Amino acid sequence: MILGLLGPEGTFSEKAAKKWESTAELQYFDDVFDVVKAVVNEDVDYGVVPIENSLEGSVGSTLDALLKYDVKIAGEVVVPIRHCLLAKEKISDIKIILSHPQALAQCRHSIKNRFGEVEIVETMSTASAAKLASESKKMAAIASEDSAAKYGLNILLRDLQNQKENYTRFIVLGKIVPEPTSKDKTSVVIYLQKDRPGALYKMLGEFASRDINLTKIESRPTKKALGDYLFYIDMEGHIMDEKVQTALKEIKKKAGMLRILGSYPKAEQT
Q: What is the CATH number of the domain that holds 211?
A: 3.30.70.260
Q: Which domain holds residue 6?
A: 2-80+167-174
Domain check: are 67 and 94 in the same one? Answer: no
Helix or strand (DSSP H, E) at 190? strand 184-191
For the question of residue 170 being annotated catalytic, the response is yes
Pairing state of beta strands 167-174 and 96-99? unpaired
Domain check: are 102 and 146 in the same one? Answer: yes
- Residue 192 has φ and ψ, to the nearest 5°, of -75, -25
Q: For position 143, what pLDDT does the model report?
A: 95
Q: Do the domain assignments include residue 60?
A: yes
Q: Do the domain assignments include residue 54?
A: yes
CA atoms within 13 Å, Cβ hemisphere of 59? 22
Q: For position 35, what pLDDT does the model report?
A: 97
Q: Which of 12, 168, 186, 207 is catalytic?
A: 168
Task: State how far the Cα of 51 lies from the Cα of 65, in Å rounded to an integer.
Answer: 10
CA atoms within 13 Å, Cβ hemisphere of 202? 13
Domain check: are 144 and 192 in the same one? Answer: no
CATH number at residue 93: 3.40.190.10
Domain check: are 68 and 113 in the same one? Answer: no
Domain check: are 108 and 63 in the same one? Answer: no
Domain check: are 12 and 75 in the same one? Answer: yes
Q: Which of 170, 186, 222, 231 is catalytic?
A: 170
Contact criterion met (CB below 8 Å) for 106 and 177: no
Domain check: are 188 and 261 in the same one? Answer: yes
Domain check: are 75 and 91 in the same one? Answer: no
Last residue of a domain, one of 174, 204, 221: 174
> If you average pLDDT over residues 246-269, what whole number do you get?
92
Q: Do the domain assignments include residue 92?
A: yes
Helices assigned H by DSSP within 86-222: 101-106, 108-114, 126-133, 145-151, 199-208
| Residue 24: pLDDT band with limits 50, 70, 90 | very high
For the question of residue 168 being annotated catalytic, the response is yes
> If you average pLDDT over residues 163-188, what whole number do you get?
95
Domain check: are 14 and 76 in the same one? Answer: yes
Q: For position 269, what pLDDT does the model report?
A: 64
Chain segment 27-69, per-residue pLDDT in tens: 999 999 999 999 999 999 999 999 999 989 999 999 999 999 9
Cα–Cα nearest to 157, from 142, 135, 136: 142
Q: For position 223, what pLDDT does the model report?
A: 85
Q: For position 41, what pLDDT does the model report?
A: 96
| Residue 171: pLDDT band with limits 50, 70, 90 | very high
The yes-or-no verdict on residue 270 having pLDDT over 70 is no
Q: For position 194, what pLDDT does the model report?
A: 66
Domain check: are 119 and 100 in the same one? Answer: yes
Chain segment 98-143, per-residue pLDDT in tens: 999 999 999 999 898 888 788 999 999 999 999 999 999 999 999 9
Q: For position 33, what pLDDT does the model report?
A: 95
Q: Do the domain assignments include residue 191?
A: yes
Which three-class secondary structure string do you get for 73-126?
A: EEEEEEEECCCEEEECCCHHHCCEEEECHHHHHHCHHHHHHHCCCCEEEECCCH
Please report, as a single letter, which amino acid is at residue 17: A
Q: Do the domain assignments include residue 179?
A: no
Last residue of a domain, one of 124, 144, 174: 174
Tally of domains in the chain: 3
Burial label, 79 (beta-carbon count in 10 A; 0-12, 13-18, 19+): buried
What is the pTM assigned to this prediction? 0.90
Task: State how far the Cα of 98 lies from the Cα of 121, in Å rounded to an integer.
Answer: 5
Mean pLDDT of the chain: 93
Q: Do the domain assignments include residue 270?
A: no
Q: For position 199, what pLDDT does the model report?
A: 82
| Residue 243: pLDDT band with limits 50, 70, 90 | very high
The yes-or-no verdict on residue 265 having pLDDT over 80 is yes
Task: State how far the Cα of 45 lies from the Cα of 27, in Å rounded to an integer.
Answer: 10
Domain check: are 34 and 88 in the same one? Answer: no
Please report, as a single letter, which amino acid is at residue 204: L
Q: Do the domain assignments include residue 162?
A: no
Last residue of a domain, one of 140, 174, 208: 174
Domain check: are 23 and 93 in the same one? Answer: no
Q: Do the domain assignments include residue 210?
A: yes
Distances (CA, A) of 243 to 75, 202, 204, 248, 250: 21, 16, 14, 9, 11
The yes-or-no verdict on residue 222 having pLDDT over 90 is no
Percent of the chain having pLDDT more than 70? 98
